[in-house]
Amino acid sequence: MNKKAEFDMARTLVADKDWWRGAVIYQIYPRSFQDSNGDGIGDLNGITSRLPYVASLGVDAIWISPFFTSPMKDFGYDVSDYRGVDPMFGTLADFDALVETAHALGLRVMIDLVLSHTSDQHPWFAKSHVDRSNDKSDWYVWSDPKPDGTPPNNWLSIFGGPAWTWEPRREQYYLHNFLSTQPDLNFHNVQVQDALLDVTRFWLDRGVDGFRLDTINFYYADKELRDNPALPPEQRNATIAPSVNPYNHQEHLYSKNQVENLEFLARFRSLLDEYPGAAAVGEVGDAQRGLEIMGQYTEGDERVQMCYAFEFLAKDPLTAARVVEVLNKVDDVATDGWACWAFSNHDVIRHASRWDLSPAAMRAYATLILCLRGSVCLYQGEELGLPEADVAFEDLQDPYGIEFWPEFKGRDGCRTPMVWEPSNSHGGFTTGEPWLPVSRDHLHNAVSTQEHDPAALLHHYRKAIALRHAHKALSKGAHDGVNATGDVVHFARTHDGQVIFCAVNLSDEPATLDLPDGAWVTIGSELGSTAPSPDGHVHMGAWQVALALKT
């Protein structure tokens, strides 16, 4: 691409400040995407080499999980230098080259910002934990013990055990909602906020187009450190933590979801607005109020643009009735907000396995998510239909899985390397020994194999993404409410007079649906969309879709 073309592409990317609304974002887990140097760990140069493939999918942006300097106790979600690239992933120069290549291909770049906590090896904590009088002493959440020496309250860690660890030099406990090596920052201290906003500006100045904000609702802890109330058994669920984790026994009223967070998000958005087109998507981790919090955090123009909750990442089957329940709840609690939907990511069982989907079902769900109101995150390998990999205990890397094995096997099964070709045991990911074994069951789904099969799922994703971009009603439009007739989810999307009717049969049985009044023409035939009959009915086969444009 010549310099003029590069300039024109960059200008186009900046010009659409509303690009995020309805965008399709492709998540890359850098350890597992592509290794460029044979050490068995994916890296930034590996990502750069595969960006033409990502661009060929038709997505709008990539989201790269953490690549910052880290001791890797939680694989990069424990940051020891927010401004540095961990040597295993490359250098800042490698990152700059990645951004330049992505922009030349028309891809925006979003990176994962982990603001709620750092590594215990971060210089801030190295100073904070020494005594109570240094200039970083109040940068983390510290508390005196109860008179009997026990932790200050009953808060629990998502990764198991109490959320407090004793520091003998200070004779105080520090808070960690995750691993004990991930101490929580004290957002009540404005200096902490300022430092994190400086980090944000650092990456914006390097050309990133936005951020995925890890655990966005965990930033603040209750100033009074009050005990969380018990949660009645009937209200417990395993949306955020596995069912064997006692974390589910509490209503996390005080350890997260604090109202002060809205003020910080306003500061964060104000900074984003200095960079035209910069956007953020927040991860809302809450099993009871996730959608409500999503609505609060994306309301208006003074907070983040998008958030996702865990409703579609849950283990429970995603039936037509469940889709209607979730979308109607969003209409109720997030009328002025914007959702970002995902079926899979680096923290949950891949949805092909989680919901035990057939190839036809995977196509139906892909079409569904790309027709919903909201933005969409696709996780690497999802477009290949990869199932969850079975990782033996001796090969586990995830501390979460090691802690709760065998009832919960952790997150390694969705983090195994991407499969590019079936010609060797490592799937074209590396010439060395991969950090996690490549699943034998994945090799027949490799990119190179599917590229040469016109009927492959990979091409279905491309077609569904292209259809979404071809019709603004599907990407940016409103909907008229989501309904279910039996196992069929149906709704109409509208934008500037364009109306598209969408129906997806989420079952193995055929179904018939009445088309709304009006004249309609079938679209999406390349996705298997059925045409309406002359009498105004739509006859749908198992896992078939019906997409029609009002004329």
**Residues known to be catalytic:** 214, 274
- Collapsing DSSP states into helix, strand and coil, what is residue 192? helix
With CA atoms as reference, report the closest residue to 43 among 75, 26, 67: 67
Cβ–Cβ contacts within 10 Å for residue 253, how many? 16
Cα 282 to Cα 62: distance, rounded to the nearest angstrom = 15
End-to-end CA separation in angstroms for the chain = 40
User: Most distant CA pair in the chain: distance in Å?
Assistant: 80
Q: What are phi and psi of 15, to 5 degrees?
A: -60, -35
Report which secondary-structure segment, H or E, holds 264.
helix 261-272
d(CA 502, CA 521): 12
Kindly report the three-state secondary structure assignment for every residue of 89-156.
Answer: CCCHHHHHHHHHHHHHCCCEEEEEECCCECCCCCHHHHHHCCCCCCCCCCCECEECCCCCCCCCCCCE
- Phi-psi region for residue 89, left (φ > 0), alpha (ψ -120 to 50) or beta? alpha
Instruction: Take residue 369 and report the two structure tokens written for it.
Output: 């998510």
How many Å separate Cα 85 from the centre of its chain?
Answer: 21
> Which of 173, 232, 247 is closest to 400 using CA atoms?
247
